Structure 1
């Protein structure tokens, strides 16, 4: 009895975990997952505002070229990642992915420092940094969620992914706030070493989570215990398996097309926002500060959605209903923008859409991979969230550039039917997830 009391959390902690839907034996894992995602997104968002400012330095008219370069790099990196996941166990490649990006950050820090000390142009360095950070973000986040889908079961993912995602939003809130406060005083290049330190701590979180999984293995009834996370077993398969999944499986094809629709609408708002900021504010540091403030607003709203809303939304509306919320809001928002194409409307639309994206849509989308094979969790998910995502950026930015003559109102009208198609896809994907979930549960029961 004494030992049981000693291991029982205090009443305030019990109340908190009950509100958040966390079981007592999941507390340690959820805490480390929360911190892990906090480190990743705070590291990224410290640098995202720098990236957006670099896009303006490069010239707003060149943004389509930057996304094209990002897409090409994604196409080159995807089979390399597929080969790594096919040949090495997760316990080996997960930490080294983060070590690789830490080394990249320190290289950029050295190059920016050299350029500033010698009064050299930063245009091409900035372009390279824009492309690199766009790849970095998608890879580290995709790998994170593949790892989460590995160590948590379907039932756990529906309860816990919102809370875990809130860790990312907390980091995405703190990162730009720190940047907005200190960047003008210390300069943007000095944000890079801080970002690298956070990534190194993320690696420490990976080791702690592997330790938790190892402790769960003696319990054969715990379906979250995945021996492949800590053992020598490799995923196997082809380096191009992710591409094959998307081309041959309707479930992944629909997720990919829905993502292209989402990125098209996001690209439209991003390009016009960048143009408005470029003519309103002077200097890289000041523009970095403006973007950081907007990011902080978005991430504060996202945090509330992830922590308190998404779990209830999935339970009440289902996966499909929750995924359909953002395209429905987009239909309304772009209709209003077509009628009144001013800065306040597009800024409000940007904040609202991105808040829903990270607060509701992203954690719900990550649940979609809890009903697929381990190979699909890493390869199909990675291909969709990197190459397909940036392919959508390329389609969006070039299309917007070619039709820019119709003005912001005309572009907003073009976005409305795309949002309607996206709504239908979201509902279909939700239905297919439900079918797969029922099929896998039936197999387990049998």
Structure 2
């Protein structure tokens, strides 16, 4: 009873706009830093994404599947040094190192873009396509690994949607920047801008290490100074040993395969509709802007409420259902408007609903799984799905079969994906009860000892 009068005071410390989600006063500082962090990361990526898509088309539509293959090889090559570094470095040193590794590459791309002759820039574009496809998964995966390590499952369910909203705001700013400035601001300037945004993200990482004690009572702050340990291949081994992690892999694979099929269909459409690079880049940037505005509205007003009321099981299942309906509609009405609308709705659903729910799945795992196993899933497994989708598309075209036939093949994949999502939702609840309820009891006993 004595604590009741102080509750309005505590709640008044929460900014009004954060009250769209159930945020507590002691969580505000950590949440704001997380939102700024992912805002900077996604702004950098979406400044660069339209450039990548344009480079991909310039390199030849018939070469896209080879670029996806090169991306997978680069991803696998990078996984081993990441795992090795995570054995020896604590997260407060590991994460800034990862970001500055990519910052150095952006500056190199800017120099090469300026000095290379025009005929050599086709290969620069191909290298950049592969690089950005590796970059975007690593920089985002590292963020979600960090926050899954910091926040408990209960807090993740309430706060991850707001963090995702920060990501969406970053994506909106990034894509709008490129759409507005692509005709005035050259590619070199966009490379440098993205590098500056990533350095801002590094500052946020350092700040976040100082406020993690606000986020989770079970986190004593010592973990940020300790390496993860384990073996270089421990992430792969843990996945092989865990049905839960294997099913997260399946969820990611099915999402990636179906996304790649849509991507190729959309790229083929843009290739025929637009003849100039600047027009293609502007179209891709505008499409990204529409997706991210829709995503932001959903994250602010819908996602947190769905997660809090229905849990991850329902939210995880929404994207497979949308995908199933979308592929069915494309098979019946294979026109440009249908492709664009399906792509927009599906991407927005992934960012606003599936992504936060999928990240909550990792909060019930051990720390090593949150970094190493998660990194393998977010990078190598995701790009493996790209390969399946890309080469399936190439094989169908080589055989002279229509894209509509391939889309019909995606329907059973969507059904399997829906069943998989429901299993994951149930299993996450079981693991939470097994892991966190005993922990809460121990914390309660210690507080009274």
Counterpart position of 2:247: 254
How far apart, in 2, do the equivalents of 1:124 and 1:243 lie?
33
1:162-187 CA-to-partner distances (Å, cap 9, x unmatched) read 00111000001110100000011122
- Per the TM alignment, residue 362 of structure 1 is displaced from its structure 2 partner at its CA by 0.4
- Per the TM alignment, residue 226 of structure 1 is displaced from its structure 2 partner at its CA by 3.6
Give structure 1 stretches of 5+ with no counterpart: none
How far apart, in 2, do the equivalents of 1:15 and 1:137 lie?
32
Does structure 2 retain, via aligned residues, the 8 Å contact 1:150–1:226? no
How far apart, in 1, do the equivalents of 2:313 and 2:338 lie?
28
How far apart, in 1, do the equivalents of 2:428 and 2:340 lie?
34
Does structure 2 retain, via aligned residues, the 8 Å contact 1:17–1:23? no
How far apart, in 1, do the equivalents of 2:65 and 2:336 lie?
21
1:305-341 CA-to-partner distances (Å, cap 9, x unmatched) read 2222111112233211110101011111111100111
How far apart, in 2, do the equivalents of 1:134 and 1:410 lie?
27
1:285 maps onto 2:286 in alignment: no
Q: Could you state the TM-score of these two structures normalised by the residue count of structure 2? A: 0.93
1:438 maps onto 2:439 in alignment: no
1:383 maps onto 2:382 in alignment: no
- Per the TM alignment, residue 260 of structure 1 is displaced from its structure 2 partner at its CA by 0.9
Does the C-alpha gap of structure 1 residues 426 and 300 become closer, same or farther in structure 2, counting only changes over 3 Å? same
1:414 maps onto 2:415 in alignment: no
Does structure 1 retain, via aligned residues, the 8 Å contact 2:41–2:170? yes
How far apart, in 2, do the equivalents of 1:27 and 1:318 lie?
23
1:21 maps onto 2:16 in alignment: no
Does structure 1 retain, via aligned residues, the 8 Å contact 2:364–2:435? yes
Find the partner of 2:311 among 315, 318, 334: 318
SS of 2:218 mapped into structure 1: coil
1:54 maps onto 2:55 in alignment: yes
How far apart, in 2, do the equivalents of 1:432 and 1:108 lie?
44
How far apart, in 2, do the equivalents of 1:15 and 1:114 lie?
50
1:84 maps onto 2:80 in alignment: no
Deviation above 6 Å: which 4+ runs of structure 1?
A: none
Does structure 1 retain, via aligned residues, the 8 Å contact 2:26–2:214? no
Counterpart position of 1:171: 170
- Per the TM alignment, residue 406 of structure 1 is displaced from its structure 2 partner at its CA by 2.4
Does structure 2 retain, via aligned residues, the 8 Å contact 1:29–1:212? yes
Find the partner of 2:323 among 296, 316, 330: 330
Aligned-residue RMSD, C-alpha: 1.8
Does structure 2 retain, via aligned residues, the 8 Å contact 1:334–1:412? yes
- Per the TM alignment, residue 73 of structure 1 is displaced from its structure 2 partner at its CA by 0.7
Greater Cα offset, 402-411 or 173-182 = 402-411
SS of 1:333 mapped into structure 2: helix
- Per the TM alignment, residue 8 of structure 1 is displaced from its structure 2 partner at its CA by 5.3
The number of equivalent residue pairs is: 434
1:132-165 CA-to-partner distances (Å, cap 9, x unmatched) read 0010110011110011111111111111000011
Does structure 2 retain, via aligned residues, the 8 Å contact 1:151–1:225? no
What pairs with 1:6-155 in structure 2 (closer than 5 Å)?
11=12, 13=14, 15-115=16-116, 118-155=117-154
1:362-397 CA-to-partner distances (Å, cap 9, x unmatched) read 011011110000000000100000000001101110
Does structure 2 retain, via aligned residues, the 8 Å contact 1:151–1:226? no
Does structure 1 retain, via aligned residues, the 8 Å contact 2:110–2:191? yes
